[in-house]
Amino acid sequence: MATLTPTLKLDSTDATSDSAFSLTLTDALTVGQPQLGLSRKATEASSGSNVELIPTGSATKYVYIRHTGKQSDGSTATTNALNVYFNSEFSLVLLAEEFAFIPVRSTATVNAISASTHTIQVEYAYWSAA
């Protein structure tokens, strides 16, 4: 077994009208197999099919997904949104360069597709809770 240490840090001096804020949260997650290290895959355009990123499994999965801001060739920019589905339910939308790190229940498959005409190169990884 291994330990994965996610940290969330939010800072702003002007995001709220009443005050500045700073928030840092850290956790230590015990993880094991199966897992998939940092990977990339191209999604299809919205007229195509969802692309599976994360399969179902026997444990909760900690999932990292990032919209690279690039089309499937890895160099052409795109501003098309990335739609992320848990099973067949629309769950997240990521814009170019946005990312998410979220726990996903064991029975969920994570799929993605472009919201428009461009393919999108997605960076992703997952670790299973142990």
- As given in the structure block, the two tokens for residue 59 are 């444990």
Q: Report which of 96, 87, 80, 10 is spatially closest to residue 53, judged by C-alpha positions.
A: 87
Confidence of residue 21 (pLDDT cuts 50, 70, 90): confident
How many Cβ atoms sit within 10 Å of the Cβ of residue 13? 9
Would you state the pLDDT for residue 18?
A: 76
The CATH T-level fold of domain 30-129 is: Jelly Rolls (2.60.120)
- As given in the structure block, the two tokens for residue 20 are 């500045």
Give domain limits for the chain.
30-129
The answer to whether the pTM exceeds 0.75 is yes
Outline where DSSP puts E strands in the chain.
2-4, 7-12, 21-26, 29-42, 51-54, 61-67, 82-86, 89-94, 99-104, 110-114, 121-129
- As given in the structure block, the two tokens for residue 26 are 């850290």
Q: What is the rounded average pLDDT of the residues 18-37?
A: 93
Would you state the pLDDT for residue 2?
A: 97
Chain segment 77-107, per-residue pLDDT in tens: 999 999 999 998 999 999 999 999 999 999 9
